[in-house]
Amino acid sequence: MNKIAEKYSGDIEKIIAKYPPEQKRSAVMSLLYIAQREDGYVTKHDINEIAEILEMTPTEVVALVGFYTLYHDKQDGKYRIQVCNDLPCALRGADEFLENLCENLGIQVGDTTEDGLVSVEGVMCLAACDKAPMFQVQTGDGLKYHEEMTVENTMELIESWKKEEKK
């Protein structure tokens, strides 16, 4: 069953129409976004389907999922906290922030909390080195940036998500 092609055929046609026929593979990132927006990750089936639609190999598609931090090949928490910990941010305390945040959540970097609500990972360059420690939160609703964060105010943010989930 072609989940993406059936469910989002109109969206896919509009996206592919933006490119010359011989360059339709340029739509790959947009199709990955479509595939991921419902469940928060791209399945192997989705990868194969996108490859077929765009006349690419699955290896070419999965390489993009592995390279870009906004695409995921496994289900994680509803809120995916991506802490920038490249060198400039690390010099402003990002590594310590990341370690202490995970310790407070009782997880390791790259893991998800037991309740399945929050995943935390380190990523490279979110373009706010002067505002570190900072992170982006990725959900099905998009991205939100949080700058000059402390573990304490991040834990308050997470508590607000938990309260929201209980409603």
pLDDT, residue 25, reads: 94
pLDDT at position 2: 64
Give the residue from 7, 25, 6 showing the smallest Cα distance to 15.
25
Q: Are residues 94 and 115 both part of a single domain?
A: yes
**Per-residue pLDDT at 141:** 78
Tell me: do 99 and 130 sit in the same domain: yes
Per DSSP (E only), the strands in 33-110 are 79-84
The whole-number average pLDDT for the span 61-86 is 92
Could you tell me if 63 and 84 lie in one domain? Answer: no
Which range of residues forms the domain containing residue 35? 3-67
* Predicted model pTM: 0.78
pLDDT digits (tens, 9 = 90+) for 122-166: 999 999 999 999 999 998 778 899 999 999 999 999 999 999 988
What is the number of domains present in the chain? 2
pLDDT digits (tens, 9 = 90+) for 9-38: 889 999 999 999 999 999 999 999 999 887
Question: Which conformational region is residue 9 in: left (phi greater than 0), alpha (psi within -120 to 50 degrees), or beta?
Answer: alpha
Q: How far apart are CA 61 and CA 28, in angstroms?
A: 7
On whether the CB atoms of residues 136 and 154 are closer than 8 A, the answer is no
The count of residues in the chain is 167
Q: Give the model's pLDDT for residue 142.
A: 82
Phi-psi region of 14 (alpha: psi -120 to 50; beta: other; left: phi over 0): alpha
User: In 19-159, where do the E strands start and end?
Assistant: 79-84, 118-123, 135-139, 142-146
Of 121, 150, 152, nearest to 136 (Cα)? 121
Say whether both 83 and 47 belong to one domain.
no
CA distance 128 to 105: 24
- Boundary of a domain, candidates 28, 47, 67: 67
Clarify whether residues 37 and 84 are in a common domain.
no
Same domain, 91 and 157: yes
